[in-house]
Structure 1
Amino acid sequence: MCADRITPEHRSKIMSMIKGKNTQPEMVVRSVCHEMGFRYRLHRKDLPGKPDLVFPKHRLCIFVHGCFWHRHPGCKYAYTPKSRLDFWLPKLEKNVERDADALQALHTRGWRVAIIWECHTKNRELLRTEIQKIFGLSA
């Protein structure tokens, strides 16, 4: 096992600064959706998983997932930590299970659900095309 290069106290401080909402990738998605004329609600607590963007008119929820935290398959950002695997693996697995449960609950309630991955927010034009597909518009 590889030793961590920073102290546990410093690591704790870094981790405590990670936000759950209003992240940079989420803000990019919100900006592009707004530019395209789509209006949304944020983080509705009455819906399973508190989707990042909710489009009631379209019965559509969009989750903006961080590649690392939500284990984006095949993505270079979804790496597995080298230390403290006994901590990280169950934590990351729980995130994936919670995501699946929320998606299923939303589908059961008649909502369409889309996931936009953090790595897809790095190119606004590709993101715009992805959002058009989500809404069923020709790209």
Structure 2
Amino acid sequence: MSWASSAGVARSMRSNRSRDTGPELAVRRELHRRGLRYRVDMRPIPGVRSRADIVFTRRRVAVYIDGCFWHQCPVHGTLPATNQDYWLPKLARNRERDIAVNTALRAAGWTVLRFWEHQAPHEVADVVEATARRTP
């Protein structure tokens, strides 16, 4: 049996982007406008199963713009109406992986910044800029 409850759901899920999402692009544009340069969609350290959305390699800052559904935002996260036997464990694994990635990166000396997709891009950029410029 497929993970999708219908052909329409399968089509919709396949169209979800793993990089270059609208919120991510908005933050990147704002950071670039402010003169910051960064890497996009890369693993901060080998062996960690995660690709950060924005990475400042020299400063060791990894930025994630998390989707409200995929990472279960406490404000906007929704639960799937169908196929919950598949989706609930998957969403729980996403959250567990986020915690494990944060722990591994911090243990390796990285600063990890996580934001929700609904946060204002200029506010996200304010925090990212302050951290990237402050971090040696």
TM-score range relative to shorter protein: 0.7 to 0.9
Give me the TM-score of the superposition, normalised by structure 2: 0.82
Query: Within 5 Å, which residues of 2 pair with 1:27-38?
Result: 27-38=25-36
Flag the 1:130–1:45 CA change in 2: closer, same or farther, 3 A.
Answer: closer
Instruction: Work out the percentage of aligned pairs sharing the same amino acid.
Output: 31
**Residue 84 of structure 1: CA displacement?**
2.0
Q: Distance in 2 between matches of 1:43 and 1:95?
A: 17
Structure 1 stretches of 5 or more lacking a match? 1-6
C-alpha RMSD over aligned residues: 1.9
Give me the TM-score of the superposition, normalised by structure 1: 0.81
Q: Distance in 1 between matches of 2:44 and 2:112?
A: 15
SS at match of 1:99: helix
The 4+ residue runs of structure 1 with deviation greater than 4 A are: none
Flag the 1:127–1:88 CA change in 2: closer, same or farther, 3 A.
Answer: same
Query: Within 5 Å, which residues of 2 pair with 1:25-104?
Result: 25-45=23-43, 47=45, 48=48, 49-73=50-74, 75-76=75-76, 78-104=77-103
Q: Does 1:24 align with 2:25?
A: no
Q: What does residue 129 of structure 1 align with?
A: 126
Structure 2 stretches of 5 or more lacking a match? none
**Residue 100 of structure 1: CA displacement?**
1.0
Aligned length: 127
SS at match of 2:42: coil
**Residue 25 of structure 1: CA displacement?**
1.1
Matched AA of 1:8: S
Q: Which has the higher helix share?
A: 1
Flag the 1:22–1:93 CA change in 2: closer, same or farther, 3 A.
Answer: same
